[in-house]
Amino acid sequence: MRPFFIFRDPLKGTLKAAQIVKPKESLEIQQLETPKPRGSQILIKVNSAGVCHSDIHLWEGGYEGPNGQFLKTTDRGVKYPLTPGHEIAGTVESMGEEAGGFNKNDKVIVYPWIGEGLCPACRIGLENLCDKPRSLGVYTNGGYADYVLVPSYKYLVKLDEEVDLDASAALSCSALTAYGAVRNADLKPNDNLLVVGAGGLGLMAIQLAKRVTGARIIAIDLDDEKLDIAKKNGADDIVNSKKYDPVKTVLELTDRMGVDAIIDFVNASKTVETDMQMVRKRARIVLVGLFGGELKLNLVTMPTRAYRLIGSYTGSISEMAELVSLAKRGVIKPVISERFKLDQATEALSKLKNGKITGRGVINP
């Protein structure tokens, strides 16, 4: 069977990219051939490429699995050298002959969670959950470059002329993941929602839950500073789980009923174990984080308490378009804290790995 999306070998050329040539080594600036878009492909001039935690996994060549084993990215189909970068905002540079809907220099963000197009998920617009994903910056070259080739103009969402591209880049991954999780929590205005982890994703989830669901929001974290920001972003209540017993505190805040939904942006053994002790009957426990580990799940409580454990992974292009609309009207506000040049890509990843970027870092090639 014919494979999908063959990208020609990158030869020496005019496209400048920061590539992972070998895991764990510094990224190298490469001169690659600038691809010429064919068919419905479109070439984007990258203005902003977000630096995301999952880029670190690509850089390290894998991540730690449940039993301390190292899960290699190459076993999941990743190939090196690779240009990382899946949070991409920029302008339209050129278009294949079957592409349309855009003009040169239009500001756009790119939906990177591209699927094969034929599985049941893709058929309903959930390419992020495709059986055979082709994500940009993961399985194909991404946005740590001055240009990126997108397989179809359909993966673009147009931005207004006055929009800040750096802030917009975050909409395609961190904000989208937060939004997908909020949607999966299936909230009503009289629900109590617990957001576990008040980092970048948690804060965005709080903003979104506040504005599009009306639910009451409790944020939990170990860091008072983050919790203060959570409160300013819309959390009704905050709990420092270092200082207070989280289970006791959350039960007190909810008339001893427990919360109706949890979004866990950590998703580690310890957080989910705690989650399961403070949920009401019918609770939705939305698992988002990639920290991993094992949960010893008491099976009989699943039916008797009608719990739902819901894995949530990024979001759909329709949801990304909804975020673009919310950001345009100032309803949500992604925060960019640091900017890097392309040749600072290794530094950007190191800083993120060492917890030295508080908001979102962006590379401006």
Which of 22, 33, 105, 311 lies at the binding interface for a copy of itself (CB under 8 A)? 311
For a copy of itself, which stretch binds (CB under 8 A), given 21-29, 94-102, 195-203, 348-356?
94-102
> At a CB cut-off of 8 Å and minimum separation 6, what does 354 contact?
none
260 contributes a contact to a copy of itself by CB under 8 A: yes
Restricting to residues 190-249, which ones interact with a copy of itself according to CB under 8 A? Answer: 190-191, 211-214, 216, 236
Restricting to residues 51-90, which ones interact with a copy of itself according to CB under 8 A? Answer: 65-66
Least CB distance to a copy of itself at residue 152 (A): 7
Least CB distance to a copy of itself at residue 363 (A): 25
Buried-exposed string 283-310: b where 16+ CB fall within 10 A, e elsewhere: bbbbbbbebebebeeeeeeeeeeebebb
Q: What does residue 79 show for φ and ψ, rounded to 5 degrees?
A: -125, 135
C-alpha to C-alpha distances, 300 to 261, 293, 303, 310, nearest whole angstrom: 19, 21, 6, 17
| Residue 29, token pair as written in the block | 């600036």
322 contributes a contact to a copy of itself by CB under 8 A: yes
Q: 161: helix, coil or strand?
A: coil
Which of 173, 185, 323, 342 lies at the binding interface for a copy of itself (CB under 8 A)? 323
For a copy of itself, which stretch binds (CB under 8 A), given 82-90, 122-130, 340-348, 357-365?
122-130
Restricting to residues 332-361, which ones interact with a copy of itself according to CB under 8 A? Answer: none
CB 221 within 8 A of CB 249: no
Least CB distance to a copy of itself at residue 365 (A): 25
Among the listed residues 240, 246, 301, 244, the one whose alpha carbon sits nearest the alpha carbon of residue 271: 246
330 contributes a contact to a copy of itself by CB under 8 A: no
With respect to a copy of itself, which residue has the nearer C-beta, 133 or 143? 133
Least CB distance to a copy of itself at residue 140 (A): 12
| Residue 232, token pair as written in the block | 């300013």
Window 139-178: contact mask with a copy of itself (x via CB under 8 A): ------------xxxx------------------------
Which of 28, 164, 231, 313 lies at the binding interface for a copy of itself (CB under 8 A)? 313
Half-sphere exposure of 191 (CA within 13 A, CB side): 24
Among the listed residues 18, 88, 78, the one whose alpha carbon sits nearest the alpha carbon of residue 346: 18
What is the DSSP-derived secondary structure letter of residue 38? -
For residue 214, give the amino acid letter.
Answer: G
With respect to a copy of itself, which residue has the nearer C-beta, 26 or 91? 91
Which of 309, 335, 346, 350 lies at the binding interface for a copy of itself (CB under 8 A)? 309
251 contributes a contact to a copy of itself by CB under 8 A: no
